Structure 1
Amino acid sequence: MINMLRAGGAAAAAFAFVATATFAGPSMATDVDAAPAVNPVADHANATIDAGRLAEASANSAEAVAAAAEMVQVAKAALPRPRGLEELVVAYAGAEPADEEEECLAGAVYFEARGESLLGQLAVAEVVLNRAASGKYPTTLCEVITQPWQFSFVNATGSIPAADRSSEAWSKAVAIARIATEKVAGKLDDDVLWYHADYVAPSWGKRLERADKIGTHIFYS
């Protein structure tokens, strides 16, 4: 049984924080190759805290604060780190679209941004998702993408062309679509609804607020 520590002041407050803190950082992949769960007690069995040393430290506020800070670092080290976008794409690589909506989104990523960085591809997917949720555009991803005069890759019949499904670009596009729909990564605000390539200058861009530039695409809200 863990002995109760009667360290006063900052040490006691920090200890209470360590005991009750939860991880509020970025979300992590859950369905595919998720990072293993971490048991702070098991993984840090050797990083135990000397109760006697803490009791002595309570008499010295500076020493108590230092001891409490060490406890916080031990607790933080026990938590799983967020996975980067590259790792997430690798985790989802080889997956097939879960449904028609995800397939449409992967098509938009593939045709609009397969030459962009992973972050640039994800940003394009985010714009599609933002539009569907905005109330200003159709409510489904497929309808947003095939809406006339919105995405240049959609042909005259309003359908999405066939992608090379054996290509690495398609595999990444599907992964990006899954990451975007599950919201495990992303950086654009919800009101970012438009973008264009940096080698064109559409008149509507002047009426909007520039939000970001990622690769060759400029994004607006």
Structure 2
Amino acid sequence: MSFLQRVATLATMALGTALIGVSSPGLASQLDQTLNVPLSAQVPENSALAAVPAEAMPAPMAQPAVVQTEDEEEFDSLSEAVAAQSAPDALNDELTCLAGAIYFESKGEPLPGQLAVAEVIINRAKSGRFAKSVCAVVTQAGQFSFVRGGRIPAIASNANYRTAIAVAQVALRDQWDSPAPKALYFHARRVSPGWRMTKVASIGNHVFYR
């Protein structure tokens, strides 16, 4: 090989070495760089979500507080429920009629007996077999002997009447279960009408049927 050929060969080899030194990194190097890239850089950021300020995000809806109403109050006994009733400033028609019936039909009876009388009237109003309101049931012709000319007699304020009002409130608010469930009729023990009905309870001086 001539001197010029050797110089050309050496020059070619030197150029090749220089090109190898500046070539792209191998596959292993590329994988190593990819694995070490931070997660935030690998996963594109949702620009729309990032643009919403924290205070603009909707706050969780607050759940309404459970408020116990007077009607939902629980009692350990009927006497406790009756004692807890507050005297109303004025009696509406429904309360007046129901308290009047309790007073005239069962004053002096034990509290369960008074409540059972009240529940008979309420049950009748709901049954569809009698008048549709408490007052209409009480004043219905031929049903209660204390009614005069379709009216309830006036009642002087006394302890028995105040108790009747409280029992009526308990019954209307459904704060104590009736001791004569689903009863629609009652009569005094001293009489025997011979009714062919289902007897549900005997309380004080009354017998209750449905």
> In structure 2, what is the equivalent of residue 177 of structure 1?
168
Give the Å deviation of 1:98: 4.5
Match status 1:158 vs 2:150: yes
Give aligned-pair identity as a percent: 41
Match status 1:215 vs 2:204: yes
Match status 1:103 vs 2:102: no
Give the Å deviation of 1:93: 4.8
> In structure 1, what is the equivalent of residue 76 of structure 2?
83
Which amino acid in the other structure matches residue 151 of structure 1? F
Q: 1:208/1:117 Cα in 2 relative to 1: closer, same or farther (>3 Å)?
A: same
- Of 70, 94, 107, the match for 1:31: 70
Q: Aligned equivalents of 1:112 and 1:201: distance in 2?
A: 17
Contact 1:93-1:171 at 8 Å conserved across structures: no
Q: Aligned equivalents of 1:128 and 1:183: distance in 2?
A: 13
Deviation digits for residues 18-49 of structure 1 (CA, Å, limit 9, x no counterpart) = xxxxxxxxxxx9439x97xxxxxxxxxxxxxx
Q: Aligned equivalents of 1:209 and 1:93: distance in 2?
A: 36
Q: 1:96/1:131 Cα in 2 relative to 1: closer, same or farther (>3 Å)?
A: farther
Give the Å deviation of 1:171: 0.7
Match status 1:92 vs 2:85: yes
Deviation digits for residues 136-184 of structure 1 (CA, Å, limit 9, x no counterpart) = 00000001000111111112x111011112x011111110001001100
Q: 1:96/1:136 Cα in 2 relative to 1: closer, same or farther (>3 Å)?
A: farther
Root-mean-square deviation (Å): 2.0
Q: Aligned equivalents of 2:122 and 2:96: distance in 1?
A: 13
Task: Provide TM-score, normalisation by structure 2.
Answer: 0.63
- Of 180, 186, 189, the match for 1:195: 186
> In structure 1, what is the equivalent of residue 37 of structure 2?
none
Q: Aligned equivalents of 1:97 and 1:120: distance in 2?
A: 25
Contact 1:126-1:186 at 8 Å conserved across structures: no
Contact 2:110-2:204 at 8 Å conserved across structures: yes
Which amino acid in the other structure matches residue 105 of structure 1? L
Contact 1:93-1:172 at 8 Å conserved across structures: no
- Of 108, 111, 121, the match for 2:114: 121
Which amino acid in the other structure matches residue 84 of structure 1? S
Q: Aligned equivalents of 2:177 and 2:164: distance in 1?
A: 15
**Secondary structure of the equivalent of 1:102?**
helix
Which amino acid in the other structure matches residue 209 of structure 1? T
Alignment map for 1:43-82 (pairs within 5 Å): 82=75
Q: Which of the two has higher C-alpha Rg?
A: 2
Unpaired stretches in structure 2, ≥5 consecutive residues: 1-67
How many residue pairs align between the two structures?
142
Q: 1:97/1:117 Cα in 2 relative to 1: closer, same or farther (>3 Å)?
A: farther
Q: Aligned equivalents of 1:95 and 1:84: distance in 2?
A: 22
Q: Aligned equivalents of 2:89 and 2:186: distance in 1?
A: 27
Give the Å deviation of 1:88: 1.3
**Secondary structure of the equivalent of 1:212?**
strand
Q: 1:97/1:175 Cα in 2 relative to 1: closer, same or farther (>3 Å)?
A: farther
